[in-house]
Structure 1
Amino acid sequence: MSVENQPAGVIHDIGYQRYAGARLGRGYAARSLYVHGVRTALGLGRGPKAKIFPWLAEGILLLVAAIVTAIRAQTGEAVISYTEFAAQLSFLIILFCATTAPELVSRDLRSGVLPLYFSRPLRRSDYALGKLGAMVTAVWLLQALPLTLMYLGAVFSVKGGRAVWHETVDYSKGQLSALLFGLVFGAISILIASLAGRRAVSAALIVVAFLVTSPIFGVLQVIGTGAVKQLSGIINPVSLVLITNAWLTGDQGKDFDEIAGYGIYYALSTVVLIVGCVLLLLLRYRKVAR
């Protein structure tokens, strides 16, 4: 068939148009990623199965806070202080981190959607910091709501403006502790979860990373002497946060008398741990999905 006899091509107008709306850019994308991460961590906008553990964990913490508040209303004594609340229930927070962090980052690694994220104005550092921010916020919220319930119950139990002021100061110390728990636990969990694409593997590694330090800390407390014993809490995230918070707030009770002179080392260790995890996380996402 000659060229002249071939049928001519036809262009069909099916209505495609160029996007003419506002381009919200990198900042909007980063904020949206953060908000979506917080919602994912709390199971919001997802199916019933995704809501089971975060809501169960929050429910348990609120129940404990309600019981503590009721006991205080009856006896006038605080069974658990604001700063001790998270430490007493740290295993539940660890389990929350082990289920939430893999949901935030491991799923994206395994499904291979990271190139789609990075093809937009969103940078690799934006993705990493957005996921970290969502994790820190989720861990903080997990503690902040029960602490607020305890505070409201205490305010109605005490008498006088001075007592309310002292209660408010103690509550602020508890919120600082909750923020430190969020920063330390969130940074460690997200970093570990970013190393594995399988959620089960990531969850197991997170639990092991937190729990393996407890027996080591206990052994050093028993056999250690001098500075070794006083600094042994640095290797355990829970004791690291508690002692750092006690040093920052000046609330060094009988449990912290022995490390009073070493508080600065715990605070510096906390900063180094958080900064180190953030830098390693950024380095991880510079190399992934290349």
Structure 2
Amino acid sequence: MSTDTTRIHNIGYRNYDGARLGRGYARRALYSQSLRGAYGLGRSARSKVLPMILFAVMCVPAAIIVAVGVATKMKELPLDYTRYAIVMQAVIGLYLAAQAPQAVSRDLRFKTVPLYFSRPIERIDYVVAKFGAMASALFALTAVPLLILYVGSLLAKMDFAEQTKGFAQGLVSVALLSLLFGGLGLVMAALTPRRGFGVAAVIATFTITYGAVSTLQAIAFETGAIGAVQWLGLFSPVTLIDGVQTAFLGASSSYPGAQGPGAAAGVVYLLVVLALIAGSYAVLMRHYRKVGL
């Protein structure tokens, strides 16, 4: 009886002879997928509801201001470009609390991060793509209403140079806000694979700190400690952005008594904002060094 049991079967596998797109393509694909996911695109209909509603809520006040301005032939907008995001900060915080965990928590919960890092994506590619996508999503959320205001101001025949300058200042402000909020939001969300905990952490970071700082600033102002008002603003992301744009972008301050930081304190504000952005990136890089193992 034959003992030869060796068999060779051709099941049709072929070598891949196409182009190897590499890390750059993979990083761009992850960025695009994450950015689309921040607005529910490419996901279920239920996933689109909240981000699209919040996007509409951000834009509707700007559209109303434009409609009133055109109808009444206003000479200037009732709300500065730099003030819009500060006034709507609750909506921005809610959007971030909903979408930052969506960007990173699922990968942690289902333990798919090591698969990303197998190849060709490396840890830095993953962090840069996620950070960039979250910041871009926030920039779209905050910049589109400013664009509506700008177009409306031109339709109302307001001063072109003044409106263009204000629009540019507003874009700089929301770009800085997007980087700061996006970085902090991702750090909070990446600390836990549970989405609910991530949502709570983001809300606590932005809402509680803003409420506490605003209360302390009001107390300091009422008790005559005017100098403390500007320094208390360093302890909340919202008041940090408020302080930077007051010092450098000609914005009016929402601090009690309009006691925004001067030029010297403004430098401290800007350095703190940049340090928090860089620190958020560093924390994410360190965190994903462990997660990817």
TM-score (norm 1): 0.93
Match of 2:167 among 144, 164, 171: 171
Q: CA deviation at 1:254?
A: 6.4
Any idea what the Cα deviations from partners look like across 1:87-125, whole Å, max 9, x if unmatched? 111111101001111111000000111111011111111
Structure 2 runs not aligned, ≥5 long: none
| Whole-Å separation in 2 of the counterparts to 1:187 and 1:202 | 14
Any idea what the Cα deviations from partners look like across 1:174-200, whole Å, max 9, x if unmatched? 111111110111000001111110111
Structure 1 runs not aligned, ≥5 long: none
| Whole-Å separation in 2 of the counterparts to 1:212 and 1:12 | 65
Partner of 2:206: 210
Matched, 1:283 2:282: no
Please tell me whether the aligned partners of residues 252 and 260 of structure 1 are also in contact (alpha carbons under 8 angstroms). no
Partner of 1:260: 262
Any idea what the Cα deviations from partners look like across 1:203-232, whole Å, max 9, x if unmatched? 111001111112321232134325432211
| Whole-Å separation in 2 of the counterparts to 1:271 and 1:21 | 43
Matched, 1:19 2:54: no
Give runs of aligned pairs for residues 148-163 of structure 1, distance below 5 A. Answer: 148-158=147-157, 163=159
TM-score (norm 2): 0.92
- Residues 252 and 148 of structure 1, relative CA distance in 2, 3 Å threshold: closer
Please tell me whether the aligned partners of residues 59 and 144 of structure 2 are also in contact (alpha carbons under 8 angstroms). yes
| Whole-Å separation in 2 of the counterparts to 1:91 and 1:254 | 17
Q: Which deviates the most, 216-225 or 57-66?
A: 216-225
The secondary structure found in structure 2 opposite 1:134 is helix
The secondary structure found in structure 2 opposite 1:79 is coil
Matched, 1:68 2:65: yes
| Whole-Å separation in 1 of the counterparts to 2:282 and 2:234 | 20
RMSD between superposed Cα atoms in Å: 1.6
Amino acid at match of 1:259: P
| Whole-Å separation in 2 of the counterparts to 1:221 and 1:214 | 10
The secondary structure found in structure 2 opposite 1:43 is coil
Identical columns (%): 35
Amino acid at match of 1:86: A
